Each structure stands twice: as C-alpha cells, then as structure tokens.
Amino acid sequence: MRISLVARYALITFAVVAVISLTNSASAAQRSHSAGKSSDSIRLAECRTFVQRFYTWYRGAVERAGFESAVRKKPHLFNSALLQALQDDLTAAKKSPGEIVGLDFDPFTNSQDLPESFVVGDVRRKGDIYLADVSGQWTKGGARDPHPWLVTELKQRSGRWMFTNFRYPPDKHQQKSDDLLSILARLKAERKKKP
C-alpha cells in the first residue's frame, strides 16, 4: 500500500506537533515542580522568620509578665483551640491563688529559666503543618543547646502564620514526648475532678 505525498506530509506534521507538545508538557511540568519547590522553600523561610521574631519579642516580654503576656498581647498568633485552652488555664490559675491548678512551667520555652536568647533550628513541613525546633542560647554569641527545647507547630491560614501547638521532646526527666494541648487538656480534666 502506497501512502500519498499529502498523507506523508500529514503524518510528518502530526509527528512533529506531537513531539513539540510532549516537549512543552514536560517543560511545563518541570517548571511547575520547580515552582512548587521554590514556593515550599519560601514558606519554610517565612515560617523560620515568624518563629524567630516571636521568640525575640517573647524573650523581653516574658521577663516582665510571664507567658500570659503573649496570650494577652498577641492572641492573633495562636489558633482558636490553643488560645482558648491557654485562656482557660490562666483563668483557673487566677481563681486559685497560692495553689497550682494550671501550668507550672513556661509553655513557650519548656523551661523555668530564661536563656540569653532563643534560636530557631530546623524547620520542616509535615503535611499542612510546619515544625520549627527552638533552643536556648545561654550567652550572647555562645553556642546554642544542640537539642531543641521544644518544637513549635504552625499552620498558615489566609497568608498568616499561627501557632497550633508546642511539642516537648523527651529529656532525662521525661521518657516520652508531650505537647501543650495534651497537657492543658489533662490539667482541665483534673480541675473538673476537684470538688
């Protein structure tokens, strides 16, 4: 069977168009993949900046007023569930002066003592949440603690970063990890049991 000259040109034209289309599709997919990587690295950098700014501000604020200062002055930095749990804990503590019915440590530093400064370490994405390690630095310009004191958990909503939880890695006193929302829920349950 012989193919006419017009049919040959049509097949060649079709093949060229198909190759060009595939090449363009592959290039578009590669650009999209690169843009996704670039977009994710931008979010990671934004997350790091947000957390570092919070801790730079918080270092001065907590010295004067405790962790309540962040809840009162910067409530927009916490999602609604975390903010409500913190406010409930603070209210309960004010109703029972002289008695420990709530948090007995700083939930944003996971410590009793304040270092000279706080340093954000590794920042990573896990699904729709971002995790940022935070450590203390005891002397200005000195080495930071090699192990994170806590891991902040954040989400971005409508272009705004918000803390959703604070995770506490295990240490020499505590065998398993814990987190702020779980601790606040346990404290609330204990308060309900009391007459």
pLDDT tens track, the chain, 195 positions: 555 655 566 556 655 555 555 555 545 545 444 445 578 899 999 999 999 999 999 998 887 778 899 999 999 999 999 999 999 999 988 887 777 778 988 999 998 888 889 999 999 999 999 999 999 988 877 777 778 999 999 999 988 999 999 999 987 666 688 999 999 999 999 888 876
Look at residue 26 and tell me if it is in a domain. Answer: no
In the numeric block, the tokens 């340093």 are attached to 119
Q: What is the pTM of this model?
A: 0.77
172 is a domain residue: yes
1 falls within a domain: no
Residue 60 belongs to a domain: yes
Report yes or no on 23 lying in a domain: no
Q: Is the dihedral of CA 69, 88, 168, 42 positive or negative?
A: negative
109 neighbors 136 (Cβ within 8 angstroms):
yes
Task: Quote the domain boundaries for residue 151.
Answer: 41-193
128, part of any domain: yes
DSSP-assigned beta bridge partners for residue 173? none
Determine the Cα–Cα distance for residues 54 and 71; give it in Å rounded to an integer: 12
Helix (H) and strand (E) counts for the chain? Answer: 4, 5
How many domains does the chain contain in total? Answer: 1
Tell me, rounded to whole angstroms, the distance of Cα 176 from its chain centroid: 20
Residue 9 lies in a domain: no
Q: Is residue 120 part of a domain?
A: yes
Whether the CB-CB separation of 177 and 131 falls below 8 Å is answered with: no
CATH number (domain holding residue 128): 3.10.450.50
